[in-house]
Amino acid sequence: MLAAGSAIGAIGAVIAIDRTGKGLRTAPRDALITLSTPPRLYGRAFGVHRTMDTVGAFAGPLVAIAVLAATARSYDAVFVASFCIAAFGVLLLVLFVRDHRDEQPAQGAVSPGALDRLVRLAPVRRLVAAACLAGTVTIGDGFVYLLLQERERTGIGWFPLLAVGTNLSYLLLATPLGLVADRVGRRPVVLGGYLALVLVYGLLFGPFGGTGLLVAVLALYGVFYAATDGVLMALAGTVLPVPLRTTGFALIQTGQALSYLVSSVGFGLAWTLWGPVIASRGAAALTLAAVVVLGLLLRGRYHHRHRESGARAANPVPQHGFRQQGSAGDGRRRRSRRTACGVRAGLPAGLRRGRHRYLPASGR
């Protein structure tokens, strides 16, 4: 950003690079979380991660305001401080985070054919459809804050702090709602999160205003994120086979991102044509209808009750048309056993030594 200066094209390119980095890191990060956690604790694991991640989103604007106040509004100082903090985060990642290289598929296992078989799995297909539908009825954060600012006539200086309020609610609730999802099921928590979003859209031009409206909208918006962001990925972790887990997460998140684009363009057009009141109430009605459809799409056995412990619990046997194969020269197989999901699966002898690899079902 320092090099871009005030050039619109350069600023756009920097933002595009930033979003590209987010797209590259998100799916592998979520896959690492599932490979490091027993399936029965996915909700808690994603909740803890989202809490820690949102601490930075909460503190970042406050630190930036403090730096600006201390440096006579020097934006260069803000970007330098942000760079230093980011570099420290990368250093921690390099030194302390370990990859699961023994869980990587064999060369050639990830292919368009394997992706096609992944999409043909009914639970995966329904989950991708649910993620796309949810993204289509979710308008961008900026629209929500602009609508809130227009309703309450708050000063432009308060605009960045609206996101801080949402992030505070998000970070306080992400872990508790992840625990609730593990205990009562992830589907009802996700549906409850989208019902909170319906309330947010409805309150934006509802019957009351003032400080109470600000607090209620920002708190409910944080509830929405806490109940859906990590919990939806916990749902995905129980149905995506290990060989293509990163690919599956990327597929879901790509569908969400494209749906967000469609929803943002659509809401912007609706605001322009019919005004903010009709646009926000229309968004509330569409989201309420989407909750019903989401409830139907997410029916089924998405709550994985895995009873094993240790390394095997953290890395369950792949299912859904994918199999594990031992290392080269190791043709011995252990006796087939029934997994916690009730699926017959043969475990290779190499699994005990961590030398297994994964091949798609066509390799049988």
The CATH number assigned to the domain holding 261 equals 1.20.1250.20
Give per-residue pLDDT as tens, 250-298.
999 999 999 999 999 999 999 999 999 999 999 999 999 999 999 999 9
Compute the distance between CA of residue 90 and CA of residue 261 in angstroms, rounded to an integer: 29
Instruction: Say yes or no: 354 and 265 in one domain.
Output: no
Residue 93 is assigned to a structural domain of this protein: yes
Residue 11 is assigned to a structural domain of this protein: no
Give per-residue pLDDT as tens, 286-333.
999 999 999 999 986 554 444 333 334 444 434 444 444 343 334 333
Compute the distance between CA of residue 163 and CA of residue 141 in angstroms, rounded to an integer: 8
- Structure confidence at residue 1 as a pLDDT band (50, 70, 90): low
Instruction: Say yes or no: 359 and 233 in one domain.
Output: no
Looking at residue 103, its pLDDT comes to: 57
Residue 121 phi, psi (nearest 5): -70, 125
Domain region containing 248: 18-297
Rg (Cα) of the chain, in Å, rounded?
23
Residue 358 is assigned to a structural domain of this protein: yes
Rounded average pLDDT over 221-234: 96
Quick count: other Cβ atoms within 10 Å of Cβ 125?
Answer: 14
Residue 10 is assigned to a structural domain of this protein: no
- Structure confidence at residue 73 as a pLDDT band (50, 70, 90): confident
3-class secondary structure, 358: strand
Counted domains in the chain:
2
| H helical segments located in 298-342 | 310-314
Instruction: Say yes or no: 203 and 236 in one domain.
Output: yes
Question: How do beta strands 337-338 and 322-325 pair?
Answer: unpaired
Compute the distance between CA of residue 102 and CA of residue 324 in angstroms, rounded to an integer: 12
Rounded average pLDDT over 18-43: 89
Compute the distance between CA of residue 338 and CA of residue 347 in angstroms, rounded to an integer: 10
Compute the distance between CA of residue 296 and CA of residue 18 in angstroms, rounded to an integer: 36
Instruction: Say yes or no: 79 and 38 in one domain.
Output: yes
Residue 352 is assigned to a structural domain of this protein: yes
Residue 302 is assigned to a structural domain of this protein: no
- The tokens describing 251, both together, are 């597929």
Looking at residue 307, its pLDDT comes to: 38
Compute the distance between CA of residue 346 and CA of residue 323 in angstroms, rounded to an integer: 8
Distances (CA, A) of 269 to 27, 133, 199, 262: 31, 19, 22, 11
Quick count: other Cβ atoms within 10 Å of Cβ 64?
Answer: 17
Give per-residue pLDDT as tens, 102-136.
655 555 566 777 788 888 899 999 999 999 999 99
